Each structure stands twice: as structure tokens, then as C-alpha cells.
Amino acid sequence: MRTKTLLRRLLGITTLFVQGFDFSSGDLLVFVRPRAKLPRCGVCRAPAPGFDSVSSRRWRHLGLGRPRVWLVYAPRRVSCPTCGVRVESVPWAAHNSGFTHDFEGLTAYLAQSTDKTSVQKLMGISWATVGRIVDRVVGYRLDPERLNGLKRIGVDEFSYRRRHKYLTVVVDHDRRRIVWAGPGARATTLASFFEELGPRRCAEIEAAKIDMSAGYHKAIREHLPNAQVVFDRFHVQRLASDAFDAVRREELRELRGTPEGKDLFRSRFVVLKNPWSLNDGEKKKLREIEKSNAPLFRAYLLKETLAKALEYKQRWRAERALRDWLAWASRSKLKPFVKTARTIRKHLDGVLAYVDERLTNGIVEEMNTRLRMIARRAFGFHGPQPLIALMYLCRGGIELDPPLPGPTDV
């Protein structure tokens, strides 16, 4: 077998000819040229006439053991009728990249599953280069049709840094992937997504799951004419849980230093557990709270009754139970629950939409957990864009097929 043929097969790139090689510097330099005779514009990739060559350039390829492998070629300049005078596109690398597609594909594949420091060491590149490669791979591998056919979306904020640094993340509930992310957590942030989506695709969205953020609610009312706003059960129950915690803290302040206060402090996990999970000892403590602290037990019943009301699958039953709960909470003489009742009454239509749609927060919360892990792996990048690119890479439906060794029978 000829040496040039062997090198071409080892490189694994079929769209080039090997013209020679040099191993004197410790790195393997492979001199190549494209198979195609007619050059293409490096920006738009349209065929264009070439007229001269620039100086030789090098592209880092996957190593063959310890030595680094570089592809060397002097690309031609082309006169593109659309883009003007540009350097030609080479089939083994992206425009303005110093790495081959195979090298960038393996780097991005590793970035999907490990931290960037490890990727940096494994691939022998700098920290910032990992981020640029991820950005580039996402640019040409992210599905351009991901915004088409959206029917049910989930919108949530994601805190990625201290001092109120947030991202707005939009999730496709049906395909279970991120379709958009942008810096900020305001109405204008979500409005920029709807503007990118366009009026026609906005009109196709049937349901939007959000928390009780006034900004998101405002943007959805303005841009989604046919969408039903759904307030997730998790956020509704959290309002009642926060109200219960406020009542409990107030009771602890009043009973501080007394035996009753000490017993109440020790019973924290009893009142937070699900009723069906209580053992005999915990049930006894709950009965003692019922006898000794009527306001706290009333708050406990309000919290659990709201959770039960949201379990109904028939809308009319859920609506009747919720209206009964609102009347009870409003006259409970517990200020946190009176405030919670006003909030839920204001958004009652969206709360009841959960019963119809059963569009839960589970997918978004699962996504947030994974995004938290991704944010830790992206630690050290102070802007939102590298993190957004890594989110798309890991949770945007991008499937990479890097040139990895296949399984063997040994």
C-alpha cells in the first residue's frame, strides 16, 4: 500500500488527496488538497471562480498517538458574486476554524459529558478554544427546524450566577428539549423569542406552562393569541407551602423559650411530610399540634387540602374544590393564606388549565437540574453565551457521532 493511501485512510477523510507529509518537527504534517476542482465560497459555500492562493494554512486533526496531526493546504481565493472576495471553503473544516470537523466533533462530544478542564487536557487545547468549538458545532449542528411545530411549551428562569443573573429557557414539552434560551428573565426577554418565532408559529402554540411570573404572563398575553396559560401544580402548591412556613415561623416566635415552642420546633418534618407517609409516632405528634396549636393545624389543613384539590382530573370537581378552598383561606384569619388566596383567585383560569392539560413542571424541573450540572461544567465563563451554547449542545437535541473506535470481539 502506498504511503499516501495509508495516510488518507488513517485520516478518515474521503474528500481530499494526500500530496505528501513531513515528520521532522515532531508533529505529523500532512499536505493535502480537496478532491473537488471547482472551489466554493467559504461563507455561503456557493461555487465561485478562484484566481490565486493565500499562504499555507494548518488545521489540527485527531492525533495518531502522541504526535499532533496537522493538515496543510494553501487555500484559493474566490470571487463570490454574493460575498465578494473570500477564501475558499475546505471540506474538512468549518470556515475560519483551525480544526477539522472530526477534531471539533470529538471535542464537542466530550463537552457533552464532562467538564471543560478535562476536555482541554484530553484534546490539548486551551480553555477558551473549547468554548469556541462548542459555539461553532452548535452553530451548524443545531436543528434549524426546532422552532417549527411547537404546540406546548414550558418557560422558566434559570439562575446561572450570583447577583440576579438569569436566563430564560424555553422547552418543547412534546420533544423534551430546549428550543431557545436568552439572557434575562423579563417580559422583553420572552418577547424576543416570540419575535423570532413569528406571528404564524406563535398562533400554532396551544399551551404555555409558566410559573406565576407577571413578566412572562404579560409577554404570552401579547404574543400568543391562541395559547392557554398553564400554571403548574408545583408552583401553586409552593405558594401554600410558603404560607404555611410563614405561619409556623410566627408561631415559633410567639412560643420561643417555652416547652410548647421546643416541641413545635422538633415537629417540623412531621408537618412537612405527606400525610400517608407518617408513622405512628409522627401521627401522635400531629394530633398534639391539633390540640395545642389551632392556627398552625388550620394552616396544615389548608396546605394539604389545596394539594388534594389539584389531584382531581375532572375540571368541575377541581373548580368546586378550589373555590371552596379560596373561601376557607380568605376567612382563615391567617394573613399568609389570605394573601395566597388572592394570588390564586387572580390566576384561577391558569390553575384550572393544569387540570385540563396536565402539563406539569416535571420536564422543566428535570431540565433545570441538568442545566445546573451543565452550568457547573461551564464554570469560569462569565458571560451567558458560552453557557447557552453548552445548553444547546447537551439538551437541544444535538446528536453527535464522533470518530470513536468500534467494539471488538477481544
* Coil, helix or strand at residue 375: helix
| Whether 180 contacts 172, CB under 8 Å | no
Closest CA to 12 of 67, 59, 62: 62
Cell 443545531 sits on residue: 142
Q: What is the DSSP string of 54-110?
A: ---EEEEE--SSSS-EEEEE-PEEEEETTTEEEEBP-TTB-TT-SBBHHHHHHHHHH
DSSP state of 256: T
The 3-class secondary structure across 153-178, one letter per residue, is EEEEEEEEECCCEEEEEEEECCCCEE
**Is the four-CA dihedral 127, 129, 133, 136 of positive or negative sign?**
positive
pLDDT value, residue 70: 93
Residues of the chain with pLDDT under 50: 410
164, exposed or middle or buried, with CB in 10 Å at 0-12, 13-18, 19+?
exposed
* pLDDT of amino acid 355: 80
Question: What's the pLDDT at 199?
Answer: 92
Angle of the 259-266 helix axis to the 233-254 helix axis, nearest 10: 160
Residue 48 CA to residue 45 CA, distance in Å, equals: 9
Phi, psi of 152 (to 5 degrees): -130, 120
Strands laid side by side in the 50-53 sheet:
50-53, 76-80, 84-87
CA gap 282, 290 in Å, rounded: 13
Q: Which helix (H) or strand (E) holds 228?
A: strand 228-231
Dihedral over Cα of 325, 331, 334, 338: its sign? positive
Q: Please state, in angstroms and rounded to a whole number, the distance separating the CA atoms of residues 372 and 266.
A: 32
User: Residues 323-362: pLDDT tens digits?
Assistant: 999 999 999 989 999 999 999 998 888 888 888 776 665 6
pLDDT of residue 166: 86
pTM of structure: 0.78
Q: What is the pLDDT of residue 1?
A: 59
Q: What is the pLDDT of residue 379?
A: 59
CB atoms inside a 10 Å sphere around CB 286: 17
Q: Are 390 and 383 within 8 A, CB to CB? A: no
Longest Cα–Cα distance in the chain: 93
Q: Which three cell numbers stand for residue 400?
A: 453527535
Report pLDDT for 118.
85
**Residue 85, strand partner residues:** 79
Percent of the chain with pLDDT over 70: 93
pLDDT of residue 331: 92
- Element counts in the chain: helices (H) and strands (E): 17, 12
pLDDT at residue 410, as a whole number:
47
Using DSSP bridges, classify how beta strands 76-80 and 152-161 pair: parallel, antiparallel or unpaired.
Answer: unpaired
Query: 44 is written with which cell numbers?
Result: 455561503
Four-CA torsion 306, 309, 310, 314, nearest 10 degrees: -170
Task: Look at residue 396 in the predicted model and tell me its pLDDT.
Answer: 87
